[in-house]
Amino acid sequence: MAETPRPSDNGDWQRNLVDDDAGLRAILEAARSIAVLGIKDERRPYEPAHYIARYLQEVGYQVSGVNPGVEHTLGMRVADRLASLEQPVDVVDVFRCADNIPAHAEEVLAIPAERRPKVFWMQLGIRHEPSARRLAEAGVQVVQDRCILVEHRRLIGRSR
C-alpha cells in the first residue's frame, strides 16, 4: 500500500487533532455536508446512527448515508462505501467500532485529495490513535470520542 504523503514531520499534523471548543465550532459552522458512516434505517429509530443523522438533516446539513446493509433511510439512497458517494462531503461522522477505524481511515485517504473529506469525526466512545495520526498527517482534521449532536447543540444550538 502506498504511503500517504506527510505535510511535515515536525508536529504540524497535531493541529489537525481537534479537541477544543473553538475548533469544534469552526468545523460545525463550516461544514455543509456530512456522511454518516454506519447509518441505520427507520427500523431502528432508537439507534444514535439514525436519530443523529435525522437531527443533522433537521438543522440544515446535507446528510449522506453510508452502510452496505441499508438501501434507503431518511429520504435518501444509502451508499455502500464512502467512495460510492455521488458528491464529496465535508465531514465523515463515524458510527463504527474502533476495530473498523483503520480500514475507514484508509478508505478516506484513498479518495483523491480534491474530493477528500476535510474532517473525520469519531462518535462518542470511538478512538483510534494510529488512524487519527495518519489522517491528521495527511491534512484531515480528526475529532475523537465526541458526539456530533451533543457538540452541535452545545456550541451552535438548533439553528445554524
Taking residues 87-113, report their average pLDDT: 97
Quick one: pLDDT at residue 7?
46
Quick one: pLDDT at residue 10?
59
Average pLDDT, the chain: 92
**Which CATH code fits 15-155?**
3.40.50.720
Taking residues 76-96, report their average pLDDT: 96
Quick one: pLDDT at residue 4?
44
Quick one: pLDDT at residue 9?
52
Quick one: pLDDT at residue 159?
57
Query: CB of 123 within 8 A of CB of 94?
Result: yes
Quick one: pLDDT at residue 6?
44
Taking residues 19-27, report their average pLDDT: 97
Quick one: pLDDT at residue 157?
87
Quick one: pLDDT at residue 141?
98
Domain boundaries, the chain: 15-155
Query: CB of 34 within 8 A of CB of 61?
Result: yes
In this structure, the chain runs to a length of: 160
Interval 108-136: pLDDT, tens: 999 999 999 999 999 999 999 999 999 99
Quick one: pLDDT at residue 11?
72
Taking residues 21-28, report their average pLDDT: 98
Enter the C-alpha cell of residue 71.
438501501
Whether residue 65 is predicted with pLDDT greater than 50 in this model: the reply is yes
Quick one: pLDDT at residue 5?
44
